[in-house]
Amino acid sequence: MLHRTLLRSATITLRNSKFQKLQNADNFLSSPKVFSRLSSHFTYVPDTVSPSEGETVRMNMFQAINNAMDIAMTSDPSAVIFGEDVAFGGVFRCTLNLQEKHGKDRVFNTPLCEQGIAGFAIGLAVSGSTAIAEIQFADYIFPAFDQLVNEAAKFRYRCGNQFDCGKMTIRSPCSAVGHGALYHSQSPEAYFAHTPGLKVVIPRSAVKAKGLLLSCIRSPDPCIFFEPKILYRTAVEMVPSKDYEHPIGKADILIEGDTVTLVGWGTQVHVLREVAQLAQDRLNVSCEVIDLVTIAPWDKETIYNSVKKTGRLVIAHEAPLTSGFGAEIAASVQKDCFLQLEAPVQRVAGHDTPFPHVFEPFYLPDKWRCLEAVRVAVEF
């Protein structure tokens, strides 16, 4: 199993360790030997925060997520965390020490059953508790699809706002990790984007993960929070210690540019940052890089404004091309920015195949495929 490979050494080193000690373990894990099997299709660029954000602590993404949940549990006595193997800290260490700190009734393992986890979360939320549920891998969210799509998403609507399950959040590790193959690599956001009533959020960094997760937990609507698992340890930066939230439904412009708009989310944002540099160096083209952040409801305004300025759009995501969320963005942009478009909208995505094991380097929408799309858009 993937998480065993990833974590065996971590578990040995980390068992019974306290939060502070994680830093060392993390350095150990990030050493080239341990991660030799991971293809590195991107270079992580840390987020920086302004000094006005107050005290900051160096954290990776799993620690930031852990910290967000710790804050949520402390500020809301009704909050509970549950899922498969969360009690001992989680297979990705996201819930480390939370049971010791907040008690066994508030941080607990469930039986191994995703539809049960989602249904249980809805019920908690309906009765006024804040439910923070974990699905161990996004690839295994499908048994809960019915509960999420037919139930959670429609709860408020169908009863005329008498009941709702807004106090639930599902967290789940998603996307490529180098060797995750079919069932430890998927990016299922588009399935949920087709479901009115759900909010779907994907962070690109430790700083964003903390702020967005706190927003999701406190949002009055049911949220699905996909965590790009390759960033758990790679995404390291100075994260504000305070309790803060980042808005759901708001995209971030990371690099300003005026010739091509590049849109992605999660890990892909870091690929696109590199593409912008490559485009500058090799094609002398200035790219604007945007992290969409929220898949549903998505920030049309920011994307439209950028495309109206640049006239060209490249959308890149790991999930397969056909009916991926890029299709939604492309269709909307061609309708609302038709006169400003100088070239057809380009989509660079995973192929329309299951996510393969040894072929991963040829599957992902890596920087070279993205660069080529930029070239096509500019030379059209």
Partner 1 sequence: MRAATRLLLPWSSRLSYTARKGIHTSPQILSKDERPQFPGAKANWTEKLEFVKSDLYDGIPVYRVMDRDGKVMRPDQDPKLPKDKLIHMYQSMTLLNSMDKILYESQRQGRISFYMTNYGEEGTHIGSAAALEPDDLVYGQYREAGVLMYRGFPLDQFMNQCYGNELDVGKGRQMPVHYGSKDLRFVTISSPLGTQIPQAVGSAYAFKQQQKGLCVICYFGEGAASEGDAHAAFNFSATLECPIIFFCRNNGYAISTPTHEQYRGDGIAGRGPAYGIQSIRVDGNDTLAVYNATRAAREICIRENRPILVEAMTYRIGHHSTSDDSSAYRSVDEVRFWDSTDHPISRLRKYLVHNSWWDDAAEADWKKKSKTMVMQAFANAEKKLKPDWRLMFTDVYEKMTPGLKEQMKEMEDHLVKYGDHYPLKNYAKANTPLE
CB of 143 to partner 1, least distance (A): 7
Both structure tokens of 121: 């979360």
* Number of residues forming the site for partner 1 (CB under 8 A): 57
Residue tagged active-site, from 3, 41, 84, 114: 114
User: Applying CB under 8 A, does 105 fall inside the site for partner 1?
Assistant: yes
* 301 lies in the site for partner 1, by CB under 8 A: yes
In the complex, minimum distance from the CB of residue 161 to partner 1, in angstroms, rounded to a whole number: 5
| C-alpha span between 181 and 87 (Å, rounded) | 27
Pairing type for strands 168-174 and 223-228 reads parallel
| Short-list 187, 210, 227, CA closest to 316 | 187
Rule CB under 8 A: is residue 163 a binding residue for partner 1? yes
Does a cis peptide bond (omega within 30 degrees of 0) precede residue 203? no
Nearest CA among 134, 88, 96 for reference residue 113: 134
Our CB check for partner 1 shows the closer of 297 and 356 to be: 297
Rg over CA atoms, the chain: 20
Q: Binding to partner 1 by residue 116, rule CB under 8 A?
A: yes
Could you tell me which residues are beta bridge partners of residue 228?
174
Whether 184 is catalytic: yes
Inter-residue contact 348 to 256 (CB < 8 Å): no
Percentages helix, strand, coil for the chain (3-state, rounded to 5) are 45, 20, 40
CB 319 within 8 A of CB 213: no
Tell me, residue by residue from 34 to 73, as one string, x for binding to partner 1 by CB under 8 A and - for no binding.
Answer: ----------------------------------------
The distance of closest approach from Cβ of residue 350 to partner 1 in the complex, given in angstroms and rounded to an integer, is 26
Is residue 335 at the binding interface for partner 1, with CB under 8 A as the rule? no
**Does the protein bind partner 1 through residue 160 (CB under 8 A)?**
yes
* Of positions 71, 125, 212, 214, contacts partner 1 by CB under 8 A: 125
83, 90, 166, 240: which one binds partner 1 (CB under 8 A): 166
Largest CA distance in the chain: 60
Q: Is the torsion defined by CA of 344, 348, 354, 356 positive or negative?
A: positive
Considering the complex, state which of residue 152 and residue 213 has its C-beta at the smaller distance from partner 1: 152
Q: Is 16 in the site for partner 1 (CB under 8 A)?
A: yes
150 touches partner 1 (CB under 8 A): yes
User: Which position among 3, 184, 246, 270 bears the catalytic label?
Assistant: 184
Q: Considering only residues 13, 23, 56, 115, which one is a binding residue for partner 1 as defined by CB under 8 A? A: 115
Contact region with partner 1 (CB under 8 A), list: 32-40, 161-169, 344-352, 365-373: 161-169
Residue 331's SS3 state is helix
- Could you say whether residue 128 binds partner 1 (CB under 8 A)? yes
Task: Using the structure block, give the residue that is written with the tokens 């578990």.
Answer: 11
Cβ neighbour number for residue 356 with a 10 Å cutoff: 15
Among 30, 74, 75, 127, which residue interacts with partner 1 (rule: CB under 8 A)?
127
Per CB under 8 A, the list member of 46, 249, 354, 356 interacting with partner 1 is 249
With tokens 């830093």, the residue in question is: 23
By CB under 8 A, the residues from 67 to 96 that bind partner 1 are 78, 80, 87-88
- Which secondary structure element, helix H or strand E, spans residue 169, and what is its range? strand 168-174
114 a catalytic residue: yes
Angstrom distance (rounded) from CA 222 to CA 122? 9
Say if residues 199 and 17 touch (Cβ distance below 8 Å): no
Question: At residue 135, what are phi and psi to the nearest 5 degrees?
Answer: -105, 125
Q: How far is the CB of 359 from partner 1 (least distance, A)?
A: 33
Task: Supply the residues annotated as catalytic.
Answer: 114, 184
Binding region for partner 1 (CB under 8 A)? 15-16, 78, 80, 87-88, 99, 104-106, 108-111, 113, 115-116, 118-129, 131, 143, 146-147, 150-151, 154-164, 166, 196-197, 199, 220-221, 249, 297-298, 300-301
